[in-house]
Amino acid sequence: MLAEIENLASDGQAQKLQDVHAQNLKALEAQILDLKKKQESQVQLLKQKQKSDDAARRLQDEIQSIKAQKV
């Protein structure tokens, strides 16, 4: 009977441990999802910045070309 009680106690602790691990896993999965969203956002911002920089460079080249034609 004492062995049964010990088994029940250890089973209860094992279940608690399993629950804690499951909660930790869910929290980490949520964190990974959040980081993936942030990464995708950063990629989009980087693409927008590259397009903006390219447009600025083209306009600057166009300005220089117009200035050169005037002289």
Question: Does the pTM exceed 0.85?
Answer: no
Average pLDDT, the chain: 88
Cα–Cα distance between 65 and 29 in angstroms, integer? 54
- The single-letter DSSP state of residue 55 is H
In Å, how far are 25, 27, 37, 41, 43 from 34, measured between CA atoms?
14, 11, 5, 11, 14
* pLDDT at position 6: 56
Share of the chain above pLDDT 90, in %: 68
